[in-house]
């Protein structure tokens, strides 16, 4: 059999399972078209809303790097350091729905075989807000969006009934998901926040509300470091900062831990993995834990905004992997999905040493040589 990188996810046939996630790289028609030209199997738009949005003054995204010679972490010392993470406090799209509608139609007509996912967000505090979700859903699917991704996870929305404030409330998660499903003719994915006590609870709420998939996770709530020389936050407006979202390499292990919790709890459900991916080795973790697709943001932002080299690496790495393991009968992602899922167990299930070999801690005090 020949290698086949295509997947079927929530009923959608995709050329490959790699998507640009909803973020600054997908904020414009031109970027999305360039992303499809580069080879991404799908794109999730910057989140579209009904409410006026005005971003903070000054930069909205920066990248945290480690500088070995100085033994320092900073967002402000150039690209010579080793990338650790991205940080942003950018809100959802500041373009209104009527700006997005014709552009969604043009994008879909230009690339009818690629998967266009519309990220949408409204509130949850009233029937009017739930109708806003439905208005957004109908407008986007009418223009050809193949799926809808519900933003239940933005980490820096001040309103108590929006973003991650919904995603931390399982009842609201179900209510919003059901409201969209009532009008949706396309699959509905829900993007969850990691800022919760037990993400499995919210994932269950998505599926109880009729959702077709969970995307996880959004960025982790965080603040920038304080510059030890100036005593100012490295990213601020008039000396002030608020919560933003941490992404990139630093969150990969944490995002995987949350994904493994959900895929073990719901082994037959659909999941799209997000967090820390820049090459196939990173993405492979998500597939082995049970994901059907993988989304990328930080690595793409640093590669011509839409990641042409990133998607090339992902596709090349995929082909090399399946070519290497062809003797196992692995020719595509369906053959490996979830293979490592059940190897994540409770701590009590990890083998302990035989009693004769266990001396109750360390022979020397501490870890350093005496």
- For the stretch 2-27, pLDDT in tens is 999 999 999 999 999 999 999 999 99
Confidence of residue 363 (pLDDT cuts 50, 70, 90): low
Helical residues (DSSP H) of 115-213, grouped into ranges: 127-142, 164-167, 170-181, 199-208
Can you tell me the distance from the alpha carbon of 57 to that of 238, in angstroms, rounded to the nearest whole number?
A: 9
pLDDT of residue 362: 59
Instruction: Say which residues have a Cβ less than 8 Å from residue 241's Cβ, sequence separation at least 6.
Output: 89, 223, 224, 233, 235
User: Is the pLDDT reported for residue 335 higher than 90?
Assistant: yes
Instruction: Say which residues have a Cβ less than 8 Å from residue 283's Cβ, sequence separation at least 6.
Output: 18, 273, 277, 294, 314, 317
Global pTM value = 0.96
Residue of 140, 154, 291, 297 with catalytic role: 154
Contact of 49 with 92, CB cutoff 8 Å: yes
Closest by alpha carbon to 300, among 23, 71, 44? 23
Confidence of residue 52 (pLDDT cuts 50, 70, 90): confident
Active site residue 297: no
Specify burial of residue 351 (Cβ count, 10 A radius: 0-12, 13-18, 19+): exposed
pLDDT of residue 4: 98
């Amino acid at each position: 059999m020949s290698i086949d990188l295509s997947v079927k996810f929530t009923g959608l046939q995709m050329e490959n399972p790699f998507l640009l996630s909803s973020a600054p790289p997908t904020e414009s028609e031109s970027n999305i078209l360039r992303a499809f030209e580069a080879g991404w199997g799908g794109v999730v738009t910057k989140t579209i809303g009904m409410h006026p949005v005005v971003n903070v003054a000054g930069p909205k995204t920066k990248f945290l790097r480690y500088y070995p010679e100085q033994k320092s972490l900073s967002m402000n010392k150039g690209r010579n350091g080793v990338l650790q993470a991205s940080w942003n406090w950018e809100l959802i799209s500041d373009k209104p729905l009527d700006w997005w509608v014709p552009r969604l139609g043009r994008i879909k007509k230009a690339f009818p075989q690629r998967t266009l996912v519309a990220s949408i967000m409204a509130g949850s505090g009233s029937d009017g807000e739930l109708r806003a979700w439905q208005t957004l859903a109908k407008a986007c699917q009418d223009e050809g969006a193949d799926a809808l991704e519900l933003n239940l996870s933005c980490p820096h929305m001040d309103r108590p009934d929006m973003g991650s404030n919904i995603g931390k409330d399982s009842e609201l998660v179900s209510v919003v998901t059901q409201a969209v499903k009532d009008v949706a003719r396309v699959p509905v994915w829900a993007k969850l926040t990691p800022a919760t006590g037990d993400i499995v609870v919210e994932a269950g709420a998505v599926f109880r509300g009729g959702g077709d998939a969970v995307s996880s996770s959004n960025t982790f709530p965080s603040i920038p470091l304080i510059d030890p020389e100036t005593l100012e936050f490295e990213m601020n407006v008039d000396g002030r900062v608020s919560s933003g979202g941490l992404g990139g390499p630093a969150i990969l292990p944490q995002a995987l831990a949350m994904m493994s919790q959900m895929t073990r709890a719901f082994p037959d459900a659909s999941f799209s993995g997000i967090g820390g991916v820049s090459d196939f080795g990173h993405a492979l973790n998500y597939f082995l834990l049970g994901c059907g697709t993988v989304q990328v943001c930080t690595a793409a932002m640093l590669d011509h905004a839409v990641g042409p080299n990133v998607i090339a690496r992902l596709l090349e790495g995929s082909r090399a992997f399946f070519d290497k393991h062809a003797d196992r009968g692995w020719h595509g992602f369906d053959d490996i999905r979830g293979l490592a899922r059940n190897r994540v167990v409770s701590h009590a299930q990890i083998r302990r040493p035989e009693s004769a070999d266990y001396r109750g801690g360390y022979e020397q005090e501490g870890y350093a040589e005496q």
